[in-house]
Structure 1
Amino acid sequence: MATGFFWDERCFWHSGGNYTLTMPVGGLVQPLAAGGLPESPETKRRLKNLMDVTGLTAELAAQTAPPASREALERVHPAAYLDEFKKTSDAGGGELGHHTPFSQGGYEIAALSAGLAVGAVDAVASGTLENAYALSRPPGHHCSADTPAGFCLLANIAIAIEAARAKGLVKRVAVLDWDVHHGNGTESIFYDRDDVLTISLHQERNYPTTTGALADRGRGAGEGHNINLPMYAGSGHTAYLHALDRVVIPALEAFRPDMIIVACGFDASVLDPLAQMMVLAETFGAMTQRIKETAHRLCDGKLVLVHEGGYSEAYVPFCGHATIAALAGSAIDAPDPLGQSLRMRQPSSDFDAFLRQSIDRMAEQLDL
């Protein structure tokens, strides 16, 4: 079976309109290019272009998928929220939450973005594909049931999980979020449930600043089924792989999911403008390989990666290429043009030891 690659040019056309992220325009503040949003189409488009040029795309089952249906959306989002989103979208766009602007047609593009995740999960869960990558845009992991946030308008992964559950394709799903920002939306949707394990590796107090604590383990039936690993700024290749080996993989082995879904952000990279981490392109490839091997042990290889953040137009394509090549088991390589230079900027051995010890302490508190 092949590795699926779900994408659609229309997702690259999502726009936040004329919007500045950090400060109001006027006076001595000159408007920024492209409206000022770091979440632009170029990181995704340049990834797809790089894959086309190297030949990686040709090795994949590349396809689109229909937009998520209203029925699928309502399994996660209240009708009132969807109605307001559609109304605002039809009226020319606007903003419904924190840092979530959209232009006319934003509702339809967001439904298509969610549909790519739904299609990928459905195909892998049903056995049509071995595994898959969904190049979803806009992203989804900050969106709760009724509140968009952080560029996220619909909860793509949660929508895909509930669609697969409604068809009887999965019962227990693990969501691993390695986007550098806490996956607060996904966490909130499943916080009371024991059939979905949510794990988030994120930079401590980056975004959102009030969520993602180690002590937040779930509630009621969901107690113990939410794991947050707030990582120190400066964590790099060694620390991230240690986090997978010490916390993530043991937690997955204990949960025994039917499928693993990765909220795949590339904003922990050393060149990302919205974080202070030191992860390399090769790190993402290595993490993907580890989770792929874990999926083969636990759930017949059923693994889906859904694109989230990542804001370095130059570096995201190489992070994504390394990830998707590892997912597909491809020998096609896109050598990191800054690899040697960036390796020399990795944390010192003393700081790396401190980072690993901090992860060990968190693992002990999580009883892992």
Structure 2
Amino acid sequence: MDVFWHEDCFTHDAGHGLWELPGDWPWLDVPEQHPENADRLRTMLNVLRRGPIASRLRWHVGRAATEDELATVHERGYLDALRAACAGPERVALEENTVVGPGSWPAILAAAGTTLAAMEAVLDGRATKAYAMVRPPGHHAQPGAADGYCMVNNIALAAASARRRGAARVAILDWDVHHGNGTQEAFLDDPDVLTISVHMRHGSWGGSHPQTGAPDELGARGRNANIELSLGAGDSAYLRAVDEVAAPLLRTFRPDVLLCASGFDASAFDPNGRHNVTAEGYRAIGRRVAGLADELTGGRLLLTQEGGYQRGYAAVCLHALVEGLLGITRPLLPDPIAYVPDDAVRNAAVTDADLAAVRAALAPHWPGVF
């Protein structure tokens, strides 16, 4: 498996405050590092470099994207304003919790360009399964707006690149715990891009995130599938979402290339999510995704890093996911702390209802699939 990264991804610094909120809080003895920080990427990179999976990986340095490449998804006026906000000298909150400052622009370009480099390697046959280990994340960034720590939508740029380079149909599967609203917005009217987001039910969170992530946001010919899961959903709910909804859609759509927005904030220990996925759950997701890519696309698979804010456990989950992607069924790296119960096992009827609502919304656009 090929891993792409770039050291400029470390230069973005969203500062300190009250968790994700910037500013000074006089009653807070020790201001907290913004959850989307360089240490999370360092930890994830190092588990792949030092963990037992290391010998099975090939490493590549990415590149910076050009502004013309960013403009294939984003509005020019938005990009101009974003670049100006990153010019400093002070940090600027683009919306309540999405902060940029000096160093952010090189990181934004590196995250986008490294994802594009990984996509190009897959499309050119230099890689089959590629993982872009980048930050800042991207799946909340809309064509004209930043949102949820995301400024530029890395995976949407990769999908647009694949379409320009001859892929007739592109599919995006997103398992970050939060709705991939920016990716949805970028392709909502494009019937040749299938977007599937598996996420917790959180609805709209304000002006920067008007999309709800509900199953009725269907897009052109039902090509946008939102799989909302109730709080406490764990391995069983996520695997059912893949097996019972995502996989049938992908097999019917038959994409030329499969892209995945890979977040670990659905883990049982993540402070930004309320789901209970374990490392074993991510290992199983990896096996399923690799199998679908082999079956449908000749193995052409790209993953980009999205959320995951409990650094240590996110790294364990990443390692497990990569084990699954490589077909390793017996854990190479033990899970030292998983113990939170899977609420979707104890309350299976809740997941039944969640998935039934998704199938009911999609069924008119996908006859015979459900």
Shorter-chain TM-score above 0.5:
yes
What is the CA-CA distance between 1:85 and the residue it aligns to? 1.7
Matched, 1:319 2:317: yes
**Which residue does the alignment assign to 2:41?**
44
Uncovered stretches (5+) of structure 1, i.e. residues with no partner: none
Q: Is the alpha carbon distance of 1:250 and 1:106 closer, same or farther for their aligned partners in structure 2, counting shifts above 3 Å?
A: same
Identical aligned residues as a percent: 34
What is the CA-CA distance between 1:19 and the residue it aligns to? 4.2
**Structure-1 separation of matches of 2:193 and 2:350:** 32
**Structure-2 separation of matches of 1:265 and 1:320:** 9
- Residue of 81, 86, 95 corresponding to 2:83: 86
**Which residue does the alignment assign to 1:300?**
298
Contact 2:15–2:22 (Cα < 8 Å) also in 1: no
**Which residue does the alignment assign to 1:333?**
332
Indicate the SS of the match to 2:347. Answer: helix
Q: How does 1:1-368 map to 2 (within 5 A)?
A: 3-20=1-18, 21-22=20-21, 25-30=24-29, 32-34=31-33, 37-92=34-89, 93-168=91-166, 170-205=167-202, 208=205, 210=210, 211-218=212-219, 222-330=220-328, 333-339=332-338, 341-342=339-340, 345-347=341-343, 349-367=345-363, 368=370
Q: Which moved more, 1:261-270 or 1:92-101?
A: 92-101
**Structure-1 separation of matches of 2:43 and 2:271:** 17
Q: Is the alpha carbon distance of 1:31 and 1:80 closer, same or farther for their aligned partners in structure 2, counting shifts above 3 Å?
A: farther
Q: Deviations over 1:90-126 (max 9, x none)?
A: 2334233342111212112101001111111111122
Query: Would you say how many aligned residue pairs link Structure 1 and Structure 2?
Result: 357
Q: Deviations over 1:72-98 (max 9, x none)?
A: 111111222222222222233423334
Q: Which moved more, 1:261-270 or 1:117-126?
A: 117-126
Q: Is the alpha carbon distance of 1:22 and 1:329 closer, same or farther for their aligned partners in structure 2, counting shifts above 3 Å?
A: same
Q: Which moved more, 1:193-202 or 1:25-34?
A: 25-34
* Aligned-residue CA RMSD (Å): 2.0
Q: Is the alpha carbon distance of 1:283 and 1:349 closer, same or farther for their aligned partners in structure 2, counting shifts above 3 Å?
A: closer
Q: Is the alpha carbon distance of 1:32 and 1:19 closer, same or farther for their aligned partners in structure 2, counting shifts above 3 Å?
A: closer
Q: Is the alpha carbon distance of 1:268 and 1:183 closer, same or farther for their aligned partners in structure 2, counting shifts above 3 Å?
A: same
**Structure-2 separation of matches of 1:216 and 1:206:** 12
Indicate the SS of the match to 2:113. Answer: helix
- TM (norm. structure 1) is 0.91
Q: Aligned partner of 2:231: which letter?
A: A
Indicate the SS of the match to 1:362. Answer: helix
Q: Aligned partner of 1:147: which letter?
A: A
What is the CA-CA distance between 1:129 and the residue it aligns to? 0.6
**Structure-2 separation of matches of 1:348 and 1:177:** 20
Q: Aligned partner of 1:47: which letter?
A: M
Indicate the SS of the match to 1:274. Answer: coil
Contact 1:142–1:150 (Cα < 8 Å) also in 2: yes
Q: Is the alpha carbon distance of 1:353 and 1:297 closer, same or farther for their aligned partners in structure 2, counting shifts above 3 Å?
A: same
**Structure-2 separation of matches of 1:363 and 1:348:** 18
Q: Aligned partner of 2:218: which letter?
A: R
Q: Is the alpha carbon distance of 1:85 and 1:76 closer, same or farther for their aligned partners in structure 2, counting shifts above 3 Å?
A: same
Q: Is the alpha carbon distance of 1:19 and 1:361 closer, same or farther for their aligned partners in structure 2, counting shifts above 3 Å?
A: same
- TM (norm. structure 2) is 0.91
Q: Aligned partner of 2:60: which letter?
A: Q
Indicate the SS of the match to 1:58. Answer: helix
Indicate the SS of the match to 2:311. Answer: coil
**Structure-1 separation of matches of 2:158 and 2:275:** 29
Q: Aligned partner of 1:217: which letter?
A: L
**Which residue does the alignment assign to 2:367?**
none
Indicate the SS of the match to 2:2. Answer: strand
**Structure-2 separation of matches of 1:349 and 1:88:** 46
Contact 2:52–2:332 (Cα < 8 Å) also in 1: no
Q: Aligned partner of 1:135: which letter?
A: M
Contact 2:139–2:180 (Cα < 8 Å) also in 1: yes
What is the CA-CA distance between 1:293 and the residue it aligns to? 0.6
Contact 2:344–2:350 (Cα < 8 Å) also in 1: no
